[in-house]
Amino acid sequence: MTISLTEKAASQLTKFLKDSNQGIRISVVDGGCSGYEYALNIANAPKEDDLLLYKENLQIFIDPKSAPLLEGVVVDYIEGLTESGLKFINPNATETCSCGKSFQAGGCTPTGVPCS
C-alpha cells in the first residue's frame, strides 16, 4: 500500500494532532457529487482489520475497503485566498467533481449526489 504525504501536508497534520499517540484515519466513503469522497478522522488506534502506515512520523490507518481506491494517492496541503486544506491527488480517479471533493473510479463508483 502506497500513500504519500507532501512536506506541507505532513507538517499540517502533525500540528493538528495534539497527542503523538493519535493517528489519522483516511478512508473513502460513498457520497459527493461524483460518487466517492474522502474522509479524514483522528483515531487513537487502528481497527482490527486496518492497514497501518507510518509516513513522516505520522500513523495512518486505512480500512481494507478504502485501500484499493487510495493506492498511490498523494496528500498535499494547499493555501489560497479562497481555499486552504488537504488536497488528494488520486491516480485511481477517472473523474473528479468540479468542487474537488469527490471522485469516480472506473466502474466501481456508486451513484453521486449533486453538489449543494
All domains of the chain in start order, with CATH: 4-89 (2.60.300.12)
How many other CB atoms sit within 10 Å of the CB of residue 9?
A: 22
The number of C-alpha atoms within 13 Å of 61 and in the hemisphere containing its C-beta is 17
Which of the four pLDDT bands, split at 50, 70 and 90, describes residue 7?
very high
User: What is the chain's mean pLDDT, rounded?
Assistant: 85
pTM over 0.85? The answer is no
What pLDDT, in 10s, does the model give residues 64-77? 999 999 999 999 99
What pLDDT, in 10s, does the model give residues 18-65? 766 899 999 999 887 778 899 999 999 999 999 999 998 899 999 999
pLDDT more than 70, % of the chain: 87
Q: What is the pLDDT of residue 102?
A: 76
